[in-house]
Structure 1
């Protein structure tokens, strides 16, 4: 079914690109960002919507017929959908703001984070007893729920901050999920859906992922590693998302406390693109993929080489 999902994603994303261009659903580009990104002004965004739809269209019938795993998979899928909807609201606001020139262009942090924590809490409540291993010895049920909530919210935001370069997040996500392909049908289907998406998102991108896609990816990664592998292996495999979110935290904290920036730009992928560093966008993407591959290979080894 991975082939079916990849082809369906390819078709739906391509259809979405054509519809978006016809209706002018393009994204604004930060004027203070890398100057090489200015040519991307107007590129369709919210490309995560069609690939999440492709994933869901294939997964749900499989699950209902007993061919897509048990309750763990349902929990992962529902969490990905819920987080995706939160990100999708952001995408909708961005598109509407560009189309009309009015209204907000995104959800405020004080609106987004409570919703993410609510979804993370529901995930943690149902996931903690379903995990295939003891999460943290001595933590107890309440401690497990708190930990998993933080892991889920942290993962969603880390993967979200990793977006921003053509093909970067899609490639990183595929690599991070590779050790879980044979364990989690949702992870396998997401990898297939991302392959269809990358056909259009590879440099030069014809569509951007948007927040729905990045939120759903972060949720699937967190859910799959928690339920099938080990919660502590996720930040190793997802080293690039972890560094991306930490670079934002460090940058903001440094500027507020010291009035100085640590990085040329944040998240860190834009630091390397800055004219003073000068890495081409494709070089940043490829090198971040390679780092992810090495880190994920280490995780695979720590898992004992199991599929």
Structure 2
């Protein structure tokens, strides 16, 4: 974990230098919190170097027998698959900003089939390896469908949680704490996120982007399915769940009633526009996650 954290720190630092030299900056929504306007031009896609650091440390350990068995490989490959989808999105955003034209990002109908493919592969191989029974009577096909939905839901929920300095990184670390002794991939992810957070702490010198958030969501889902209990994931990841629900509620309300429920979604931006400083939103969301994860830890302690 120390090696992974230091490697992540180095790669993220190099990435920031390269990003500034090339002008790979993040545009900021003008209708969002006004305090975000100073973030215009901050390097984005910072998840690329820490996911690279994760892979560079994991695979040598795995192939020398020091990083677990098939479960860990499945989690890692799924994270890389989902991360690649997010990476394509990051690449399109950066290229569009540099050129001033071209495709700006993957839209939902392009991204969803790719996530579905990776999710199905995960679900099929994970169902027989799940730590606890999923739904009695479902069988392999039913369990595969369930785990596919869990994987896709987790990836998008963690993706929607991004947007404030340090928010997603801190939430992800807390969510994964109960599984550090069980899942080497989870432990290494926590380490590389720590290296990333050195630069992502407020005021952020780099933003995570979709590759990082997609990989985090995939590892969180995979680890809870294979080492804990799939039904505990929504409790530990209560903030990502609320974030994605706020987006769904906002979209449905606006399309059906032409009214917005929140000042802005995901919900972290609603609190910002309600007057909470960005650092307060981040810290309070960490606290909520810590309480929820503590409850998960307590539940897991009472199970065989």
1:60-71 mapped onto 2 (5 Å cutoff): 60-71=59-70
| Shift of residue 82, structure 1, vs aligned partner | 0.4
Match of 1:148 in 2: 147
1:159-238 mapped onto 2 (5 Å cutoff): 159-238=158-237
SS of aligned partner of 1:183: coil
Q: Which of 290, 300, 304 is the matching residue for 1:303?
A: 300
For structure 1, the residue ranges without an aligned partner over 5 or more in a row are none
Match of 1:58 in 2: 57
| Shift of residue 305, structure 1, vs aligned partner | 6.7
- Give me the TM-score of the superposition, normalised by structure 1: 0.98
| Shift of residue 239, structure 1, vs aligned partner | 0.1
Deviations 1:275-297 (A, max 9, x none): xx100000000000000000000
Deviations 1:187-239 (A, max 9, x none): 00000000000000000000000000000000000000000000000000000
1:110-125 mapped onto 2 (5 Å cutoff): 110-125=109-124
| Shift of residue 142, structure 1, vs aligned partner | 1.2
| Shift of residue 133, structure 1, vs aligned partner | 2.4
Runs of 4+ in 1 over 2 A off after TM superposition: none
- Give me the TM-score of the superposition, normalised by structure 2: 0.99
1:1-307 mapped onto 2 (5 Å cutoff): 2-274=1-273, 277-304=274-301
| Shift of residue 138, structure 1, vs aligned partner | 2.1
Distance 1:218 1:154 in 2: 8
Deviations 1:243-282 (A, max 9, x none): 00000000000000001000010000000000xx100000
What is the aligned-residue RMSD (CA, Å)? Answer: 0.8
Distance 1:93 1:59 in 2: 28
| Shift of residue 31, structure 1, vs aligned partner | 1.0
